[in-house]
Amino acid sequence: MQIGPYSLSNNVVLAPMAGVTDQPFRELCKELGAGLVVSEMLSSNPKVWQSQKSRKRMEYGGNEGVRVVQIAGSEPELLARAAQFNVANGAQIIDINMGCPAKKVNKKLAGSALLQFPELVESIIKAVVNAVSVPVTLKFRTGWDTGNKNAVQIAKIAQDNGIQSLALHGRTRACLYRGEVEYDTIKAVKQAVTLPVLANGDITSAQKAKQVLDYTQADGVMVGRAAQGNPWIFREIEHYLLTGKKRPAPTLQEVQATLSRHVCNVHQFYGEFMGVRIARKHVGWYLAEHDPCRSFRKTFNALESVEMQLEALEAYFGRLADEKPTGCSPAA
């Protein structure tokens, strides 16, 4: 898959997710097979660019491959300035967020709220594309609600005004993450434009990725929530698309090693105070399958240092390896 001058190693992409796709997670997903990884969205409001939260979102470790920064906002001029600012800081691709369904984003007429106003969409795209020399991409949804679906119209506007690839989440803003994904709409968008199109929404397994690609004829898939706690999904999808065969799931030992390294990297990136807290949600995602009763996670979430967290994980996996599955955490 090609985006501007960049040829991706494969067509399996990590979706931008606020509070999730930070530098440690992006580097891990790239290492485990993602062809491209995208940053958390950055506000176009210059007043927040120097906040600690924004500075952390802007950090790039160098092991992510092509650097893609997603920007969000509603004013063409501010989005253009945000694009220039991020390119000056090393962004190689700028992605415009028109897909986020969060209320606090939509209240500011950003994210998927923009889909209600195609003329504003066009103004934003023109402003950003003309402001930078790097490729500009667009992530969006099928429409504002089920009565107002305009993905094909938005895709044509994007193509006519210089966007170089599209990522379409197959639900409306009103649907949030509920209900069936509209793969028919993704298929219609792919037929309507010549741009590369990424299919996004409920790509939960290698087999599902293949089914969606075959049906929609999209150029690739974008994986979001299914990668939380399962960064191996990228290599599994890549392997299945290449060979038609399932790749074995990671062993318990690999899960432990990867999770422990991820926790260490989170602590190193954020420092102990924030690192402890951010590690908790990642551990919860990793262990959702192994700890359905949440017994271990309740204990883990009370720990206040990286040493205690790593010791608890080592003891937990030791018990998990020794005991037969019971449906509840052996740490209970």
Residue numbers annotated as active site: 100
Structure tokens at 73: 């906002």
Output the 3-class SS for 6-43.
EECCCCEEECCCCCCCCHHHHHHHHHCCCCEEEEEEEE
DSSP H stretches of helix in 174-294: 183-192, 206-216, 233-243, 252-270, 272-286
- The DSSP bridge partners found for residue 6 are 3
- Among 105, 83, 221, 234, smallest CA distance to 163 is for 83
Q: How far is CA 300 from CA 39, 260, 275, 278, 295, in A?
A: 28, 13, 13, 12, 9
Burial class (CB in 10 A: 0-12, 13-18, 19+), 175: buried
Q: Is 67 helix (H, G, I), strand (E, B) or coil?
A: coil
